[in-house]
Structure 1
């Protein structure tokens, strides 16, 4: 059975032959609605999203800004590759942080794991920014600050060392342009889902009376 990589390579060859693939487009293309059942990132109608100046509302706003920064990714990917966005869910990229867990952990654990995952994404985005002229990491930096403000033990959230960063970027590097671009899109796809899924769950956790 051909590997997933071979399947994507075959797709690239077919697209090149049939469509004379144009150069990659920026990842911040015009916004678009997500498919049915696919989280679009628009949580303005969510009961957990409120306007205001209290700390939780500020966290909501910063989180929404991070989601908004990648809202046009679906349209950009489908325009560039002429593939359905959902195919990125089958493209395996090493070192992608785990999805937001829905187990019965305490708030502190959720916050720490989420912040640690964001720190990993800030490194992964360096690969994205090499392939496409788009900056996402500043929005994540702001969100990490707000998440850590909710924690008792901020010191447990640690940035990757320079050697860890180098190894992570080496692990996701690819020898050909097609796979480097697909890896970049896969990172943004997974980041989008990570932000949307964790926001809904963690904000509800923070509203609960449990002590952090």
Structure 2
């Protein structure tokens, strides 16, 4: 089920590969990623490539002892939620996603304590920071951007301090996995909103990334 992870086909396939759970597109939405975006953003493509590498590195480290999808059992509670499809404007969505990425950026410091110098972590930090800056640039009112969940990093640090080495590794790997899911979900929502606004692909937000 996971062998063909992250083939750049439909968006549903991308979500399936990251979460390990099936995703059903609403009726009538059968466009492929290529149809929606003739030129896929290098930033998004790089992020998804990192997620693929993370899964491989995890399996190399733990072999058959722990499966990648079992990281679901080590999810950190109250992590940032992605933007909903409805009831959110594009501006509100950008603020929600930027808030989430800010929290994840801080959480990556805890990941680094367990995996210092890891290449995947370094790349995740780079592209998360890049997306965060681009989201802020796209906001109409960036001065109103705030992050309300500032205590999340402290809670995670306390959680890790109270766990043994194996549990700490599972937890920080789960944080990385949750970050990639957050980004894929965010891309899916912004894609739908861009399409509903009737923009031509050449002038969509994703070609600015």
Does TM, normalized by the shorter one, top 0.5? yes
| Aligned residue in 2 for 1:48 | 36
CA shift for structure 1 position 169: 4.2
CA shift for structure 1 position 152: 0.8
Q: How does 1:1-212 map to 2 (within 5 A)?
A: 33-34=4-5, 39-40=16-17, 45-51=33-39, 60-81=41-62, 82=64, 83-132=66-115, 133=118, 134-135=121-122, 136-158=124-146, 164=151, 167-173=154-160, 174-209=162-197
- Contact 1:121–1:191 (CA<8 Å) still a contact in 2? yes
CA shift for structure 1 position 165: 6.9
CA shift for structure 1 position 78: 2.4
* Separation (CA, whole Å) in 2 of partners of 1:138 and 1:170: 22
Q: CA RMSD in A?
A: 3.1
How many residue pairs get aligned? The number is 171
Which has more helix, going by share of residues? Answer: 2
3-state SS, counterpart of residue 142 of structure 1: helix
Unmatched 5+ stretches in structure 2: 7-11, 19-31, 200-209
CA shift for structure 1 position 122: 0.5
Evaluate the alpha carbon distance shift between residue 210 and residue 155 of structure 1 in structure 2; reply closer, same or farther with a 3 A threshold: farther
* CA shift digits 1:49-75 (9 cap, x unpaired): 332xxxxx7xx3323323323321112
* Separation (CA, whole Å) in 2 of partners of 1:195 and 1:75: 19
- Contact 1:120–1:160 (CA<8 Å) still a contact in 2? no
* Separation (CA, whole Å) in 2 of partners of 1:172 and 1:63: 31
- Contact 1:127–1:184 (CA<8 Å) still a contact in 2? yes
TM-score (normalised: structure 2): 0.68
Unmatched 5+ stretches in structure 1: 1-31, 52-56
TM-score (normalised: structure 1): 0.67
- Contact 2:83–2:97 (CA<8 Å) still a contact in 1? yes
CA shift for structure 1 position 111: 1.0
- Contact 1:172–1:183 (CA<8 Å) still a contact in 2? no
